[in-house]
Structure 1
Amino acid sequence: MAQGSMTVPSIVKAPGTYYMTNTQEKIAALTFDDGPDPIDTPAVLDILKEKDVRATFFVLGKAAQTYPFLLKRLIKEGHEIGNHGYSHDYQQRRLVEEMNQTDQAVFAATGYHTYFYRPPGGFVSKSQLETTKRNGHVVALWSVDSKDWRNPGVKQITDNVVKNVFPGSIILMHDGGYRRTQTVKSLGPIIDALKARGYRLVTLSELRMLDAETK
């Protein structure tokens, strides 16, 4: 991969990014992008609470500033907050500024700083990766794409996750951006199917600890 080139992580895993954990244990991480949203995020949280599952939410700074009460609920219910930039700029022209703006919004609402950064669309160049690391964040991509952003139907979203999950995988879903009705409807069946297969669902930090334990 040439320096400065862009990579789509569901096709090519960019060196130096975190997109899975090497483990034989049936464990995976649910992650949600583009929130918080005043309608869909509470619906997602209700399901996670009912199923006793913790997840990681990559929030946009604009939404975080608008709905700080949702960030408070995320933390209160044991979830993790990641950084998705401020304005969902695919080019990330103000990368550090947007990361910092979002981190400040999260800290103002919760007292916690962000550690993981997920670039909008998953696009990251080598220079952006290095910049993110210097800014104290780990670039977190994914290894299982639910493709809920395509709105392909509840069954297809469910199948995209359940048929492709593997030990140590990071699952991409969305709780914001626009109406995520299909995501909400698929979440319960996804969790039930994964649990039936013996999977435990954790936050990204918990998943990454397994890597640290093997080194």
Structure 2
Amino acid sequence: MTTAHILLVEDDAALAELIIWHLEREGHSIEQTADGEEALLRVSESHFDLVLLDWMIEGLSGIEVCRRLRRMPETRSTPIIMLTARGEEEDRLRGFNTGADDYVTKPFSPRELVARIAAVLRRTRPAINGERLEYSGLEMDLAEHRVRRDGHAIALGPTEYRLLRHFLEHPGRVFSRERLLDSVWGQDSDIELRTVDVHIRRLRKAINLGERPDLIRTVRSAGYALDAEEVA
């Protein structure tokens, strides 16, 4: 099952609580706000795999939030699902033309919403739903639990394997140490931040064996990314 870090922008408290309960039951991690300006602030500070966006929030409208998300380089390709009571064809077309990936009309079944999210994630992150992840000569076979670079087998410990899988699922994106702790070790982990650096060094040593170009980019004061373009 593909799990995701999701931002829910919804000002109906009861509906937001219901959505969060169903999505967390599916293994997703959720952050929620009722304010469009705060939503833009949150996406500038943290990476989200998908945004659930109510059209009719107060203040900055959902359609304007969608428009601005599509203008921001860091969220240009982030999947967006609009939630709205506006079901007319013209409104749906306006949502799609603004950049929404899907459109769910209220009232809706939580099971339908879960299915729509899964479908959008399959469409926008197809490699995660298969058995193989690939990036710049790195290959991870999820079924056989094997890793290769340029055809050569690479031995990884369990933590390095999970760390590399996370990077392969989000190539090119920079993750802070805190975000890596949450995603790879779990939100309830009491591991210290410097532990991330230790495992990054081990992962680097394993995948760069034989003087291969370093695919893990260190971004000062920000974190790490799997980034072949930087190497090039």
TM-score bracket, normalised by the shorter chain, equals 0.3 to 0.5
TM-score by length of 1: 0.33
Rg comparison, structure with higher value: 2
* Larger fraction in strand: 2
- Which of the pair has the greater relative contact order for Cα pairs under 8 Å at 6+ separation? 1
